[in-house]
Homo-oligomer: A and B are copies of this chain.
């Protein structure tokens, strides 16, 4: 798959992606379609995606703006709430999973759930119907403790619903990595930026709003544990970028919104990282094979080729009337680029 100048990835998948809607959707979705054969699309629109109709309509809008970029399969999700069996059946076949947000923990999570107990009937249904549960696993505690505090909830869910496939989304702590090995039905996504940065990069020097995200980047030992698991292609760990665009003015202001827009640089940055650590041959598992195996995905074959040609990440992406968005690694030279071919 790789020589020293090229790298071909089969069916790369972004297992956690925010595409937003309207102008922002038009702005950002083609960047994902250019690099990935598919992506898990988060449902936290305003209002959130909570029915089969909304899900199908959103999928259609996504496919429309990606038309011509590359064959791209949006794996659609519903926003967790109480659902009946008929509601879930109506959302299939385009329903991939349901995303659970505790109330108030991140962007557009105001409709999130207040009680995990009250959510159990829907989880029981999901278990029976084979619908994965994707979880934003944070409490509303102190910012550096929120994920760790949530781990007991993951343990309880994994125990109570042994056949429910649970994904701990965008994990950021060594403790979450360790939990992966304790429950067979527990899986995780991790973002490329959490493999690289710590809180030091966000707030250790000057404050860097473009690296501010939720969950917030944690301690060096957390970053190191996440990176080690990714480089080893831990079989229960999948790449999910959590690429989450906000307009530049919403990031560079008082009260900056959480989210790193990493979509334009994901595969090049990962190739650089895995190459640096001598793990390039394990990138395929991290960006695709693990997800295909864990979820039994049937994604159309599509390979994406990277070439070892340096390019400089633009300081900002703006497309005429579309919103200006600052990407992760803005202004930095990356050694790999996605081949247009």
Query: What is the interface of chain A, defined by CB distance below 8 A to chain B?
Result: 142-144, 198-200, 202-204, 206-210, 212, 216, 219-220, 251-258, 326
Contacts and interface: CB of A to CB of B under 8 A. Distances in A.
Contacts of A251: 254
B199 A254 contact: no
A252 B206 CA distance: 12
Given A207-B207, A209-B207, A200 B256 contact: no
Nearest to A199: B143
A218 to B, nearest CB: 9
A336 to B, nearest CB: 25
Copies of this chain per assembly: 2
B142 A200 contact: yes
Contacts of A202: 203
Nearest to A201: B143
A258 B202 CA distance: 12
Contacts of A207: 207, 209, 212, 255-258
Query: What does DSSP make chain A's interface, helix, strand, loop or mixed?
Result: loop
Given A257-B206, A258-B206, A219 B252 contact: no
A254 B210 contact: yes
Contacts of A203: 143, 202-203, 212, 216
A277 B131 CA distance: 52
10 contacts: A142-B200, A142-B219, A142-B220, A143-B199, A143-B204, A206-B255, A207-B209, A208-B254, A208-B255, A254-B326
Contacts of A198: 142
Contact of A254 (B144, B252, B254, B258): B252
Given A252-B252, A254-B252, A326-B254, A142 B206 contact: no
Nearest to A326: B254
A140 to B, nearest CB: 9
Nearest to A256: B207
A256 B206 CA distance: 5
Q: Name the 4 nearest CB pairs between A and B, nearest first.
A: A207-B256, A143-B204, A206-B255, A207-B212
Nearest to A253: B252
A306 B216 CA distance: 40
A240 B148 CA distance: 35
Given A207-B212, A209-B254, A210-B254, 4 more contacts: A206-B255, A206-B256, A206-B258, A207-B258
Given A207-B209, A209-B207, A212-B207, A143 B254 contact: no
A253 B326 CA distance: 12
